[in-house]
């Protein structure tokens, strides 16, 4: 963390005013890493899926979160000290002080407090535990305005736009919709720096599928891959994904596919495979609407940290928004061939309904034709409840040709915490070794993740070296390579400076450059160097930066 702060990766927000827990600023280098992570994510989950990316407001009206359940159930249990007034998230405080895993219920927390006489850090007693909603509330418009909330996830904006999106995809399932953006959770007592934030960056994919077909055509690519799983009973498995599905450890093929693809993405971003696992939610931990849920967890200095959640959310979200908005969020699925079905149908008796209900007759007929057949049918017309018997309708058995059916799609949701992934990538990349008898700190980032891809370094700060170095620097930038020029300090110190921030290659302009128009390319990880012609530099660097090739393929290697 000292290095990340000093070198401009992460800073404490509001630092000159004393800071505020749960907020961070990305400095120039940290922002560069996170942006590269976002672009890599798009490559995996937008470009190479049947998916699109949208962008919706970070403020939502109250009705959205009443429908989604966030307004009533998006809570944590908090405990407040009677003496100093500090408020803590109960389950975290209990685990920290007592080493006990407490259930996130008021009753469970209260029992632990009484059994162990749990006290505040100041020695004071706690008040009764209470549920605290984690959403930031706001008002939209002047005066009393309309109640709203800062979104706690990006997903709801996608569900609200579902009708438009289904039309965009011509109602052909499956399709995916993604969103990258800020989300907000008013955490009670965030204490883990980047790991628990009140404002954070999410990348979410909502993958809409026919509930009868939870497969994926690309599963063949991954099915024989072995993966580290921890099931809901805490049993560890190292098995292929096809075995995990066959044995019922993973609910279905589509979840297994997204687990595999998430792993592939995280490894390409730079996480170490031996420090990555997928843990299944326990029954009392899983959201009530989820069929199955798995977390990708990275091992860091904070322990195992959840960085991705992959859940089958069933039809919960679309059904709830259908119920609360009154809009039909279903999709028509055509049959391959029309089928004939016999069904009972309500047939209104016009000669009875017309004279009795007069101006309401038309509405009653429309509602009756849609009603379920029954001896008594209750309708609501203009706020009035009307009960009709078979005096006003008859029930006939008819044969109809059916061309398809309407279904509410299920949703598979991989949800990525970009801040946690960014931090995990940086921590996994951080290393120390010995070069020329001295300890070297080096950030072994994947080349495509490095915020500064190339450093151009004149051996001496004399005009003849500087002029060539600046010309090369401009040439590399013009070709889309993120380049920094640096002539400050000894060449050895400059090498160490760029090793520490993860720059894969340094280009050195030396005496031989002035003689034959060649420069050296130095590799960060091995400190090896090769000599190449300036005219070939752009092509060689582009090939190196987009691969894991060794520099020896481009010239004779010599050591620093």
Q: What's the confidence (pLDDT) of residue 506?
A: 98
Q: What's the confidence (pLDDT) of residue 436?
A: 86
Distance CA 67, CA 325 (A): 8
Distance CA 485, CA 509 (A): 11
Higher pLDDT, residue 260 or 403: 260
The pair of three-digit structure tokens given for residue 485, joined into one six-digit string: 């020029």
Distance CA 274, CA 484 (A): 33
Distance CA 532, CA 507 (A): 10
- Over residues 225-230, mean pLDDT: 97
**Residue 365 pLDDT level (bands cut at 50, 70, 90):** very high
Beta pairing class for 454-458 and 505-509: parallel
For residue 255, give the nearest of 293, 307, 284, 228 by alpha carbon: 293
Question: pLDDT tens digits for 174-216?
Answer: 999 999 999 999 999 887 788 999 999 999 999 999 999 999 9
Q: How many helices (H) and strands (E) in the chain?
A: 18, 29
Q: Which residue has tokens 């279904």? A: 407
Q: What's the confidence (pLDDT) of residue 433?
A: 94
Q: What's the confidence (pLDDT) of residue 343?
A: 87
**Residue 392 pLDDT level (bands cut at 50, 70, 90):** very high
Q: What's the confidence (pLDDT) of residue 560?
A: 60
Cβ-in-10-Å burial (0-12, 13-18, 19+) of 38 comes to middle
Please check the confidence at residue 83 and state whether its pLDDT lies above 70.
yes
Please check the confidence at residue 340 and state whether its pLDDT lies above 90.
no
Please check the confidence at residue 339 and state whether its pLDDT lies above 90.
no
- For the chain, the average pLDDT equals 95
- Over residues 8-18, mean pLDDT: 96
Q: What's the confidence (pLDDT) of residue 144?
A: 87
Q: Which residue has tokens 């044969």? A: 399
User: What sign results for the dihedral spanned by CA atoms 83, 89, 92, 95?
Assistant: positive
Q: State the maximum Cα–Cα separation within the chain, in Å, rounded to a whole number.
A: 106
The pair of three-digit structure tokens given for residue 237, joined into one six-digit string: 């498995």
Cβ atoms < 10 Å from Cβ of 342: 8
Question: pLDDT tens digits for 476-487?
Answer: 999 999 999 999
Give the containing element (helix H, strand E) for 326: none
Cβ atoms < 10 Å from Cβ of 436: 9
- Can you give 181-235 as a three-state secondary structure string? EEEECCCCCCCCHHHCCCEEEEEEEEEEECCCCCCCCCHHHCCCCEEEEECCCCC
123: left (phi over 0), alpha (psi -120 to 50) or beta: left
Please check the confidence at residue 141 and state whether its pLDDT lies above 70.
yes
Question: pLDDT tens digits for 440-486?
Answer: 999 999 999 999 999 999 999 999 999 999 999 999 999 999 999 99
Q: What is the pTM of this model?
A: 0.88
- Over residues 226-234, mean pLDDT: 97
Give the containing element (helix H, strand E) for 548: none
Cβ atoms < 10 Å from Cβ of 345: 14
**Residue 28 pLDDT level (bands cut at 50, 70, 90):** very high
- Which range is least confidently modeled, 52-56, 101-105, 229-233, 409-413? 101-105
């Amino acid at each position: 963390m000292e290095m990340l702060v000093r070198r401009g990766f992460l800073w404490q927000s509001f630092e000159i005013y004393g800071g505020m827990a749960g907020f961070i600023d990305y400095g120039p280098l940290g922002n560069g890493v996170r942006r590269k992570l976002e672009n890599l994510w798009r490559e995996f989950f937008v470009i190479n899926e049947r998916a699109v990316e949208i962008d919706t407001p970070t403020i939502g009206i109250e009705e959205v979160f009443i429908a989604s359940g966030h307004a009533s159930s998006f809570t944590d249990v908090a405990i407040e000290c009677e003496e100093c007034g500090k408020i803590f998230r109960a389950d975290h405080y209990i685990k920290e002080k007592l080493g006990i895993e407490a259930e996130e219920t008021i009753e469970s927390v209260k029992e632990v407090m009484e059994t162990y006489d749990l006290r505040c850090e100041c020695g004071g007693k706690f008040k009764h535990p209470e549920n605290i909603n984690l959403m930031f509330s706001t008002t939209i418009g002047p005066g009393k305005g309309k109640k709203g909330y800062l979104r706690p996830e990006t997903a709801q904006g996608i569900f609200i736009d579902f009708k438009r999106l289904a039309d965009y995809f011509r109602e052909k399932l499956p399709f995916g919709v993604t969103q990258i953006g800020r989300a907000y959770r008013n955490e009670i007592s965030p204490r883990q720096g980047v790991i628990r934030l009140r404002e954070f960056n999410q990348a979410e994919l909502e993958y809409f599928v026919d509930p009868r077909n939870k497969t994926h055509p690309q599963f063949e690519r991954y099915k024989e891959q072995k993966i580290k799983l921890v099931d809901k009973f805490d049993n560890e498995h190292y098995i292929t994904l096809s075995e995990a599905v066959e044995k019922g450890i993973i609910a279905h093929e589509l979840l297994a596919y997204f687990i595999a693809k998430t792993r592939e993405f995280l490894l390409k971003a730079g996480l170490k495979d031996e420090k990555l696992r997928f843990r299944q939610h326990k029954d009392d931990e899983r959201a009530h609407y989820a069929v199955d849920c798995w977390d990708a967890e990275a091992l860091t200095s904070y322990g195992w940290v959840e960085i991705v959640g992959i859940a089958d959310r069933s039809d919960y979200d679309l059904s709830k928004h259908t119920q609360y908005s009154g809009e039909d969020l279903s999709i028509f699925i055509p049959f391959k061939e029309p089928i004939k079905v016999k069904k009972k149908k309500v047939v209104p008796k016009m000669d009875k309904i017309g004279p009795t209900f007069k101006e309401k007759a038309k509405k009653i007929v429309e509602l009756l034709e849609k009603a379920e057949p029954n001896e008594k049918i209750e309708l609501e017309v203009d706020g009035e409840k009307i009960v009709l018997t078979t005096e006003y309708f008859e029930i006939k058995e008819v044969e109809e040709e059916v061309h398809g059916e309407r279904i509410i799609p299920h949703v598979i949701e991989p949800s990525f915490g970009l801040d946690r992934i960014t931090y995990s990538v940086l921590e996994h990349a951080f290393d120390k070794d010995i070069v020329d008898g001295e300890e070297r700190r080096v950030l072994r980032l994947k080349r495509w993740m490095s915020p500064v891809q190339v450093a151009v370094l004149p051996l001496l700060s004399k005009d003849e070296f500087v002029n060539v170095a600046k010309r090369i620097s401009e040439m590399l930038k013009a070709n889309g390579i993120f380049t920094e020029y640096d002539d400050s300090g000894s060449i050895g110190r400059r090498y160490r400076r760029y090793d520490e921030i993860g720059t894969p290659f340094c280009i050195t302009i030396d005496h031989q450059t002035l003689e034959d128009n060649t420069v050296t390319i130095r590799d960060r990880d091995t400190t090896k160097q090769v000599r190449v012609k300036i005219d070939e530099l752009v092509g060689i660097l582009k090939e190196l930066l987009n691969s894991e090739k060794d520099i020896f393929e481009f010239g004779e290697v010599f050591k620093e």
